[in-house]
Chain A
Amino acid sequence: MDGGVRPAAGGAAAPAPAPGPDRTAGAPPSATRVLALGGLLLAAAMLAGLLLGPAAVTARGLLATLLDAAGLAPLPAEHARDAAVLGVIRAPRVLLAAMLGAGLAAAGTVMQGLFRNPLADPALLGISAGAALAAVAAIVFGHGLFGGLFGPQAGALGLWLLPVAAFAGGLAITFALSRLGTRAGVTSVPLLLLSGVALNALCGALTGLLIFMADERQARDITFWTLGSLAGARWPQVPVALALVLLPALLLLPLARPLNALVLGESGAFHLGVDVERLKRVAVVLSAVTVAAGVAAAGLVGFVGLVVPHLVRLAFGADNRLVLPGSMLLGASLLVLADLAARWLAAPAELPVGVVTALLGAPFFLWLLRRRAGLA
C-alpha cells in the first residue's frame, strides 16, 4: 500500500489533473485571504499561549529569555522561573497543541468529505478508540511488564510506552478497517463506516474489560487520560509530532480538490478523473496516522475534529480547498486557546483539555444544528 499512497498525495498536488468542480458561485473568498486570516489567528493564539497563563511572565523576563536563547546575554537569576515557564513548560505545549489541533481538524474535514456526512469525525472509524484501548492496556499492564523487562531504565523509556502503544493501536485498527472495508479491491464507504462502528464498539468493550481488571488507581489514571491533557508536553515529543501529526495532515491538503469532486458521488468524481479508490485509501490512512499520533500525545481531545470544519464552512463556504487549510489553522488556534484555558481557569490546578474543548464545542454544535436545521 505504501507505493500507492505517496504518489497519490503528491500527484494530486502539483499537476492536479482533475479539473475539479468550481461550484462556488458569486465571489468566492480568495484562498490567500483565508490563509492570511487563519495564519494571523494562529499566530495570535500561539503568542497568547506562550505569554499568558497562571505563571505570570514579565516582558523583561521574556526579553531575558529570548536574549539568553539567542546566546546574546546570560540569563539573570531573577528570570530563571520565567525562562523555565516559557522554554520548558509552555513552548513545547503550545507547539504540540497547535499541531494536534491542525491534525484533528484536517482529519475531521477529510472524514466529513469522504463520508459526505456532516456528523463524521475522526472518532467515527474507531481509530481513537483503538488508540485508547492500547493506551489503557499500557496503563494497566505497562508498569509490571515494562518495569520487569527494563528495570531501572524503565523510567525514561516508560514515558514512551503509552504513546507508542496508543499509536500502534490506532494503526492496527486502521489496518483492520482497510481489510474489512475493501472487497475485491474496491473500498466501500458504507462498509468502512459500519466496520468503524463495530470496531468502535469492540474497542469500547475491551477497554471496559481492562478497566474492570484495573485497580482503583489505574482506573483513575485511565479516567484522566481519556479526558485529554497536554500537561506532559515535552520537547522530545515535538519532532515526533511534527512527523506523525503535522506531516500527514499537510499531506491531506492535496485531497481538497478530489474531495470537492466527491460531492457528486463516487461515480461522478470518477468521471471527473478522480482516482476514487486511491482517494479513499489515502484519506483513511493519513487521517488515521495523524489522529492516532494525536491521541498518543494528548489522550482523547474531542470536538475539534467535528466542529472546526463546520465553523470554517459557515464562514467561507464548502470548497474544500478553503475548508481544509482553514480548518487546520482554526483547529490549531482553538486547541492552543483551549489548552491556555485548561492551564489557567482552575489555577493552580489544571482542567483536562478535552473537557474544555467539549464544553465549548458541544453547546456551539447544538446551536449550529438548530440554526441550520435544514442541513440534513
Chain B
Amino acid sequence: MTGQRPHGIGRRGLPAAAAAWTALPWPPLPWPPLPWATRPARAAAGRVVCIGAALTECVFALGEGPHLVARDSSSRFPAAALALPDIGYMRALPPEGIASLSPDLVILSEEAGPAEAVAVLRATGLPMRTLPDGAGPGAAEAKLRGVGAALGRDAEPVARQVAADWAMLDAPLAGLRARPRVLFVLSLARGAPLVSGEGTHADAAIAAAGGVNPVRGWRGYRPLSAESAATLAPDVILMMDFALQEAGGAAAVFATPALAVTPAARAGRVVALDGGLMLGFGPRAAHGRRALAALLHPDAALPPLPERPWTAA
C-alpha cells in the first residue's frame, strides 16, 4: 500500500536489462494461451476459491456461498465456510493445491502472497480477481461490489443495506463528547505487546467507533515497550476475544509491565470483540462498528441495527 505513493524518481534510470529480462515472453514455454484464460471471469454456476476473510463473507452475503470450493485459513465466518477445504495461510499460497480444486474463479485479497506464488497462479491462466482489502467507511461496499462484479452478480442491494446500517451510527457517534484513547493489542507476545499503528484495520475500526488510536508515527502492528505504553496513556485496551482468552484474561493483560502503568489498567478497562466482526470490514462492518462503539461508550444511546442475513452465523 505504501508503494502507491506517487514517486517518480529514477523511473527513467530503470535498469533496462533487468526490466527486459522480466518482460521477455517467458513461458508457459511451449504452451499456447489456455482455453480457460479466454473464458469470462465469472462463475454463474462455477467453482470459486476465495482467499481473504472479508471477501469470503461477501461471497456468502451475495448468496454465492454454494459455489465456494475452498477458503483460506482466515475465512472462518459464516459457519458454512468452516466446512470448506482450507488452502492454508493466505501469505503462503499453494499454487498446485489451488489448481487441484479446478476453480473457475479465484477471488484473492490483495494481501495474499507470496508474490511469487501469485505469479505462478497467474501463469496457469486461472481466472483470478484480486480485490483490495480496505478498512474504514465505504470499504465493505467496495468489497461487496468487487466480489459481485467477479461473480457476475448484482451487489447493490446488499451494499446499500450495509451503507445504510453504517450511516445509522454516524449521528449518535458524532454527538459523543468523550473520545477514549483505545490501544489495540494484537497479542501480548511475552511482555512486548504487539499494538496497532497507523494504516491498520484496527486503527480504522477504533476511529469509526468513536475512539482515538494513541499510536502515531508508525504503521502496521509492532511491539511496544513499557515506556512508550506509559506515554501513550490509553484509557481502554482493545483485543480480539480469542487473543484475550489466550493471554489469560484481563488480569494477565494488566500484569504485563508495558500495560500495567496505563490509565486503562487503573480503571481495569480491557474490552474484547470477535476479530472478523471488528476488523474484517466485510458485510458485517456496520454491526462490528456498533458492537465496538457499544464497548467503548457504554453509556451512549446507540440505535439497534436490523438483523441481516449475513450477520447470522
Main secondary structure of the interface of A (DSSP, over half): helix
Residue in B18, B93, B96, B113 whose Cβ sees the most chain A Cβ within 10 Å: B96
Binds A, one of B166-174, B216-224, B258-266: B216-224
Which residue of A65, A151, A347 is within 8 Å of B8 (Cβ)?
A151
**Known contacts A84-B31, A231-B120; is A221 also within 8 Å of B114 by CB?**
yes
Compute how far the CA of A152 lies from the CA of B182 in the bound complex, rounded to whole angstroms: 36
Check A224 against B91 for contact (C-beta < 8 Å): yes
Given A88-B27, A160-B18, A347-B100, A154-B3 contact (CB < 8 Å): yes
> Is A84's CB under 8 angstroms from B34's CB?
yes
In the complex, identify which listed stretch (B81-89, B141-149, B282-290) lies at the interface while the others stay far away.
B81-89
Min Cβ gap A203→B in Å is 22
Contact indicator A216/B222 (Cβ below 8 Å): yes
Q: Contact between B18 and A216 (Cβ–Cβ < 8 Å)? A: no
CA–CA, A348 to B125, complex, Å? 19
CA distance in complex: A55, B95 (Å): 10
**Bound-complex Cα distance A353 to B27 (A):** 24
Is B27 in contact with A159, judged by CB distance below 8 angstroms?
A: no
Do A157 and B7 touch across chains, with their CB atoms under 8 A apart?
no
Q: Which residues of B contact A65 (CB under 8 A)?
A: 31
Question: A148 near B5 (CB under 8 angstroms)?
Answer: yes
A80 touches B92 (CB 8 A): no
Q: Mark B183-210, 1 if CB is under 8 A from A, else 0.
A: 0001000000010010000000000000
Residues of A within 8 A of B221 (CB): 215-217
Task: Choose from B11, B26, B99 the contact partner of A55 (Cβ within 8 Å).
Answer: B99
Residues of A in contact with B, size category: 35 or more
Residues of A within 8 A of B222 (CB): 215-216
Which size bracket describes the interface of B in this complex?
Answer: 35 or more
B109 to chain A, nearest CB (A): 12
Contacts of B19 in A (CB 8 A): 153, 156-157
Whether the pair B3, A349 counts as a contact (CB closer than 8 A) is no
Partner of A150 from B14, B26, B116 at Cβ < 8 Å = B14
Shortest beta-carbon distance, B94 to chain A, in Å?
3
Q: Does A3 contact B (CB under 8 A)?
A: no
Q: Does B298 contact A (CB under 8 A)?
A: no
Interface centre among A54, A234, A348 (most CB of B within 10 A): A348
**B residues neighboring A (CB under 8 Å):** 2-5, 7-11, 14, 18-19, 21-24, 26-32, 34-36, 70, 73, 85-89, 91-102, 111, 113-117, 119-120, 123-126, 186, 194, 197, 219-223
Beyond A87-B29, A147-B4, 16 additional pairs, beta carbon < 8 A: A53-B100, A69-B30, A75-B34, A83-B34, A146-B3, A157-B22, A159-B119, A160-B18, A218-B220, A224-B92, A232-B115, A232-B119, A234-B26, A235-B28, A236-B26, A347-B100
- A interface, CB within 8 angstroms of B: 53-56, 65, 68-71, 74-75, 77, 80-81, 83-85, 87-90, 143-144, 146-151, 153-160, 212, 215-218, 220-221, 224-225, 229, 231-236, 343, 346-350, 352
Q: What are 29 A-B interface contacts by the 8 Å CB criterion? A: A55-B102, A75-B32, A80-B35, A84-B34, A85-B124, A87-B29, A87-B30, A87-B31, A88-B27, A89-B96, A144-B2, A148-B3, A153-B11, A153-B14, A154-B3, A157-B22, A159-B115, A159-B116, A220-B91, A224-B91, A231-B92, A231-B117, A232-B115, A235-B28, A236-B24, A347-B100, A348-B70, A349-B94, A350-B92
